[in-house]
């Protein structure tokens, strides 16, 4: 049996989901079994969202397979189905929880527009797919003071050969340092 049903609200994850009211195409097979009705099917849903790396919009479709047993009210433990069992209620089957589990659990948490999406530049936010050679010359802040010295000859050390301005304080005529 084939059905087309509107998507409920909040049918997705943070970055990608099924738009509310979009058509969900269901291909279902219902089988009567001893304990209830076994529902086997495939749901084809349209997806909309954004790429987790470059934030471009994504639009595609997705197929999710599912199989679930809906038990009759008068079976298993005297009509009290266990918490994890789905029940037929007045000969009706509520497929929304089954579809929600099948689709949402299979959706990627970080969808990509393509597998090799380079994303955005961490420095300026430019799309790296538009400019593959994009880069910034970033200097480690610990070495930034030395960047001005690069390419310049090193200064000659002052007389005395130590490379500093000599001893701190003044020296009297006997060679004793003051201060």
pLDDT digits (tens, 9 = 90+) for 40-75: 999 999 999 999 999 999 999 999 999 999 888 876
For 83-96, what is the mean pLDDT?
82
Looking at residue 108, what is its pLDDT? Answer: 87
User: Are both 100 and 42 inside the same structural domain?
Assistant: yes
Domain containing 89: what range? Answer: 2-104
User: Are both 122 and 92 inside the same structural domain?
Assistant: no
User: Are both 40 and 124 inside the same structural domain?
Assistant: no
**Is the pLDDT reported for residue 78 higher than 50?**
no
Looking at residue 77, what is its pLDDT? Answer: 45
Looking at residue 45, what is its pLDDT? Answer: 95
**Is the pLDDT reported for residue 157 higher than 90?**
no
**139-to-121, 132, 146, 148 alpha-carbon distances in Å:** 16, 21, 10, 12
**Is the pLDDT reported for residue 177 higher than 80?**
no
Contacts of 172 (CB under 8 A, 6+ apart): 178
Q: Rounded to two decimals, what is the model's pTM?
A: 0.64
CB 47 within 8 A of CB 63: no
Domain tally, the chain: 2
Nearest CA among 47, 37, 33, 46 for reference residue 1: 37
Would 16 be classed as within a structural domain? yes
More confident residue, 37 or 153: 37
């Amino acid at each position: 049996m084939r059905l087309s049903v509107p998507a409920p609200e909040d049918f997705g994850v943070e970055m990608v989901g099924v738009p509310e009211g979009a058509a969900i195409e269901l291909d279902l097979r219902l089988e009567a079994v001893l304990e209830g009705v076994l529902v086997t099917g495939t749901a084809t849903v349209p997806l909309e969202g954004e790429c987790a790396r470059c934030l471009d919009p994504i639009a595609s479709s997705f197929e999710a397979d599912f199989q679930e047993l809906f038990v009759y009210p008068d079976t298993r433990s005297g009509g009290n189905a266990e918490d994890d069992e789905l029940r037929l209620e007045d000969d009706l089957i509520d497929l929304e929880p089954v579809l929600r589990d099948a689709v949402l659990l299979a959706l990627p948490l970080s969808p990509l527009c393509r597998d090799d999406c380079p994303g955005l530049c961490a420095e300026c936010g430019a799309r790296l797919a538009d400019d593959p050679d994009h880069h910034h010359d970033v200097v480690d802040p610990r070495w930034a003071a030395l960047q001005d010295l690069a390419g310049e000859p090193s200064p000659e050390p002052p007389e005395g050969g130590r490379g500093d301005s000599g001893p701190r304080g003044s020296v009297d005529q006997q060679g004793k340092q003051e201060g």
